[in-house]
Structure 1
């Protein structure tokens, strides 16, 4: 296929937001690298009265789900993330350029998923370092990739309620 045709196809679909996935991936990896190089495992530094930077390893999925399952979960979660990433790219390709918010949401989720997949494949765990808390209650630690996935998911939910297509009768 001619290069101009590829660029034209990318610019006329949600694929035009793939750059955002790359940015999320890079920011995620740079921040994880910085934590891994400057913090000892389980080290915690108070930043505000409700936020710490920490260095923890998550061998499971969200909220450390299946973190003590014996190792098989590494490849299980990697396979799921790769499958979902493929779906996201396909959905981005099928998303018309006019539907900006779903495409942005897909790009955020894709960048986050690939960031965590990279960790699982390279290290066998995901590096988490953001620790928010109220009093003695700590939200499970997370990272930039997790944040992008959550923001993307929220954008998809909001778009499903607020987009003109959602208001059209079926």
Structure 2
């Protein structure tokens, strides 16, 4: 049992690489085959729309003169290191947490690559209802969200034996 806890979950890095490759390939396809702001309607609620976001989520700080590129790049680098170290320290007995961290690492790296190479993140997933459009996003954003949801799920599934004595039921 003790040996299992000491084993790292770095074996989940393959998932990080798969999502990173899908993210980068999809962004490359969109940027090389579409004009900026071009939209392809696929479903009554979904378009592929090529957008460039120099800001953060929901275009936060997108109107700034350029400092945000390096600010968000630094945040993505720090987050990537944190996710990698956390993944290394996560026991194999916690696969949901490991998958969550692998997803969030992939998303952080995917958007970091865009910011460093282009100064903006390539977004293209455009969901809408009537005239209301959700802000356009990408695969990296999606796996960050999935990772966050899995992390929340994992936090509820933790074994009661791992809780501090104060939280245990008597």
For 1:8, the equivalent position in structure 2 comes to none
1:66 to 61, 65, 70: 61
Q: What does 1:1-170 correspond to in 2, within 5 Å?
A: 12-165=7-160, 168-170=163-165
TM-score (ref. length: structure 2): 0.90
TM-score (ref. length: structure 1): 0.90
Q: Structure 1 residues 17 and 62 mapped into 2: Cα distance closer, same or farther (>3 Å)? A: same
8 Å contact kept, 1:112–1:148: yes
- Counterpart Cα distance in 2 of 1:12 and 1:46: 47
- Size of the aligned set, in residue pairs, is 160
Q: Which runs of 4+ in 1 moved over 3 A?
A: 165-170
For 1:5, the equivalent position in structure 2 comes to none
Deviations 1:107-154 (A, max 9, x none): 000001000000000011000000000111100000000000000000
- Counterpart Cα distance in 1 of 2:28 and 2:160: 41
Unaligned runs of 5+ in 2: 1-5, 166-170
Give SS of 1:28's match. helix
> Deviation of residue 168 (structure 1)?
3.8
Give SS of 2:76's match. helix
> Deviation of residue 169 (structure 1)?
4.9
